[in-house]
Chain A
């Protein structure tokens, strides 16, 4: 059996990454979090809550930046300090070098016109049609009626809802509502688009469509997207970089590919395993008692990362060692244009074969670990 993992043909270098990890940003960041902390004072005997704990991050202009964490990790607070909906109790947030906290009320409103926001529950006005919802930020900004009309038509066209202009939110599906939300957020031609769990209330297929739309908007307008989510699959499908948030702290940060391929923290590992197939099927796990006597097959996991994922490693294994290789589980994905995944295989349970397999796989630049045995 031969399994070849083809690289996508069209220049699939992970060029979308903002810049290599550990290097300084080549351009000034669109958003810079400098040791941002937020403490909610305790009320009526409750202890104070530290929602953000010294968060330092740079978001490059034009990037799609993902922030992931479980609920209560501080994600919502982190996006809300960007447009001043929440005020940090410590540190600074700069947008295009401007300190958000230094702005007066009028300055903050001007800033908010350059920072669009979309929400989990869409937050559309039920009393306004789709077109009038999109028009709202323009009305608030005092844009002339004629200009509003043409701009709204363009925006609805961009999100594929030109034929739903007169519909009220109650008459639209979840995906359509979020499209209206996106059109509304883009109305004032913002530099930054904040996405607050924008796909969490949508089914997987609609989620894909909305993410594709965000990606297209990002490519088309160059708007910097900051999205928070609890789903790694969202990060995987459109983000360039990701920060993992836990208890208000950034516990891991880097290009999505690196974080996926080499998760350093347990939380990250768990989040990653939900999408990359690192979780074994339950029945396989049950058949894997460690060091079982009389086992006839040894189970190993090969992790494919980066360029080497194109190697036909399985056929090479079976040919050069003359053994049978069973595929027990596996998943290959593409992250930022580079293949990534892992595969659980079983080979005859003989020490010499297993060590030969391990050596061969490692010689090909892949990592491998022994998981256990099956009979």
Chain B
């Protein structure tokens, strides 16, 4: 394989990491409060708003059931509005974030619902405000689950980022399709796949290690 090709793979890896990192970060910033709201706004809960809960839940489900490749083209006007263009790596972050946000919201919701109701009651009995319950109890207690959930999100973003080649997003997936498949260069395809496997493996291992570290529920002697 020529040095030029190697350079292409390195550049594509950089693009993938850039898209995944930024979309993961933005998705978390948006998805976290959304997930907290979903987990605490059913009837009788901390921020009881059953109607809004149902509406937000429906929107989240709708976003999640749209196939990603369709989402990418469907929101092109929105992407252009935000990124100034609908083509390129930075523009690709918009659909990735839009896909990641509801995904993260559901993951956050699940992790928070795992927290023992007794802890919420105890915090209320201590005179905690609803926001304090979220900040001091729900988020810290859900942290191991949140960490694993965000790991899952990053892994699935790596997969999704392969599709943004459709709008000139670049990245490893795009490289694999254009060189490996369309120009029939199996060595490029193989290298792309290996790099992706290594990336996913690294993210997964790091996430699991972090989750173990923040999990104080396991007795360690």
Contacts and interface: CB of A to CB of B under 8 A. Distances in A.
B127 A127 contact: no
A interface bracket (residues with beta carbon within 8 Å of B): 20 to 34
Given A112-B126, A113-B126, A171-B219, A127 B121 contact: no
Interface in B187-219: 214, 216-219
Residue of B116, B126, B219, B220 most packed against chain A (CB within 10 A) = B126
B126 A137 contact: yes
Residue of B122, B123, B132, B217 most packed against chain A (CB within 10 A) = B122
Contacts of B123: 136, 140
A139 interface: yes
Given A123-B118, A123-B121, A168 B216 contact: yes
B217 A128 contact: no
Contacts of B121: 85, 119, 123
A128 B143 CA distance: 12
Residue of B116, B123, B125, B127 most packed against chain A (CB within 10 A) = B125
A79 to B, nearest CB: 10
Contacts of A121: 116, 118
B125 A83 contact: yes
B127 A110 contact: yes
A77 B93 CA distance: 51
A140 B128 contact: yes
A191 to B, nearest CB: 14
B54 interface: no
Interface string A110-131: 1111011101010101111000
Given A127-B140, A140-B132, A117 B217 contact: no
Nearest to B130: A105
A125 B126 CA distance: 13
B216 A170 contact: yes
Contact of A136 (B116, B118, B126, B218): B126
Given A117-B122, A119-B118, A140-B136, A126 B127 contact: no
15 contacts: A110-B127, A112-B126, A116-B125, A117-B126, A119-B121, A121-B118, A127-B141, A128-B140, A128-B216, A139-B136, A140-B127, A168-B216, A169-B216, A170-B217, A171-B219
Interface of A: 83, 85, 108-113, 115-117, 119, 121, 123, 125-128, 136-137, 139-141, 168-171, 184, 188, 194
Interface of B: 116, 118-119, 121-129, 132, 136-137, 140-141, 143, 214, 216-220
